[in-house]
Amino acid sequence: MFTEAEAQEGALPAQPGKIVAVHISYESRAAERGRRPKAPSYFLKPASSVAVSGSAVERPQGTELLAFEGEIALVMGAAARQVSVEHAWTHVGSITAGNDWGLYDLRGADKGSNVRNKGRDNYTPLGPGLIAAEKVDPSSLRLRTWKNGQLVQEDTTDKLIFPFAQLIADLSQHLTLHPGDVILTGTPAGASVAQPGDTVEVEVDVPDAGLSSGRLISTVVEGADTFNVELGSVPTVNDVQREEAWGSREAAGLPASAKSALNAQLKAKLKEAPVAGLSQEMRKRGLNNVTIDGVGPTRPGSKMVGIAKTLRFVPNREDLFKSHGGGFNAQKHAFDNVGEDEVIVIEARGESGSGTLGDILALRAAARGAAGVVTDGGVRDYTTVAGIDLPVYSRGAHPAVLGRKHVPWDTDLTIACGGATVQPGDFIVADDDGVIVLPPALAEEVADAALAKEAEDAWVAEQVKAGHPIEEVFPMNKQWRARYETEKTQG
């Protein structure tokens, strides 16, 4: 093992030219996040973010989600360009501990680049000591992270989705890795949020060989930095960011997610229950304004059940469209991040004078496993969209692009669609009769009642077909009610 003095002597040989960080690379992290990548993906961190063990990590004023991620850092010893998997490890000089700090309050503003939230000064502490890569089997490493002395992360490199040699070979297809460059190889499950006053320690070791990086120590402090809205994006957070920063909804102090509430059994009930019946049961409970009016399906005969993911458009204003309409805007963000069983619900103010989605976005939502789309605006490429295996409910076709009438503004907030208020996490059910919004807390009760009423109505229909008068059976009088209950019991 390194002594503290030996560890300090093993500091990085030079300031790295670049730092390449891997997104999800451990099986445990993939399970925690609920998504397993098919191929590795990366982002860059600036060299100015590098810090040594013992450095303070600042959480800027007015922010809440400063998250740590203990990682194994590979320090390149030789240039690598177009290297094979078989020879990739020979280009690594040494191994050390890293902590990929990130400020989730700025994650939404980064839109995937991670420049703001992970590029701040001291947000990439490395060290304190180096392990010679030639001395170790890259599949034999262990990574551990402690928060205030409590072990919160522990995993081994034999449980990686992408072995280190694959990462090096893959990166070398696209860029030259120079000596001194650092690869942060991803974090396992257990990464979470730290508060001012917390201490986080990370260690990489090879237990069987008695080798260790020593403990990389970071102390979180409250920073003095503020953000000028006139210069650029400022910190914002929502429950999605809180859940991902803390690692789970429970750890973040959030209620159970709508996804966990929409279990397979309830989903099956809602698929069977007709929207008309659900509407009737909601009305019995005093909820009369829960239908999204004026929309129809592109695929008649389909049934849609899912969880609302909301998107809001505001009326087009040319200067605002210039600042919010291009690039990876709110509309593209919603469709690129929709999850399985989610329904994108769009507030378009009932304005059908331009499209609110087209074939490309519909294909993306279908590929992501979305349950469907509801918009109180128009749809471009209507026939093509209708041919995609994705239920879409809209006010009809329109050939114009988004900017004729709308500016994509924001996501994951309470909206109005077709005269109904929709909150993220509400359950959305649709069929040829229309679209209804169900509060998750009422959904199972309403579904059970609607199915019971459906069975009763089917029995009544059989009696009418048999020639019995509507006056007696619809609604049922006492005698017919008793007969129905008897037959239902005998069943």
Residues at the binding site are 358-361, 380-381
Q: Rounded distance, CA 276 to CA 274, Å?
A: 5
Per DSSP (E only), the strands in 351-418 are 372-375, 392-394, 406-411, 415-417
Task: Report the DSSP beta bridge partners of residue 147.
Answer: 150, 200
Binding-site residue set for Mg(2+): 381
Binding-site residue set for substrate: 358-361, 380
| CA-based radius of gyration for the chain | 28
Contact 156, 142 (CB under 8 A): yes
Q: Rounded distance, CA 332 to CA 325, Å?
A: 10
Amino acid at 448: D
Sequential DSSP letters for 343-365: EEEEE-TT--SSBS--HHHHHHH
Nearest to 88 by CA among 166, 203, 197, 180: 166
Say which residues have a Cβ less than 8 Å from residue 416's Cβ, sequence separation at least 6.
347, 349, 422
Q: Where are the alpha helices (DSSP H) in 73-138?
A: 85-88, 107-110, 115-118
Say which residues have a Cβ less than 8 Å from residue 438's Cβ, sequence separation at least 6.
270, 278, 282, 290, 426, 427, 428, 429, 446
At residue 474, φ and ψ (nearest 5 deg) are: -140, 90
CA dihedral for 66, 67, 71, 77, sign (positive or negative): negative
Q: Rounded distance, CA 416 to CA 409, Å?
A: 14
Based on the number of CB atoms within 10 Å of its own CB, is 289 exposed (0-12), middle (13-18) or buried (19 or more)? exposed
SS3 193: strand
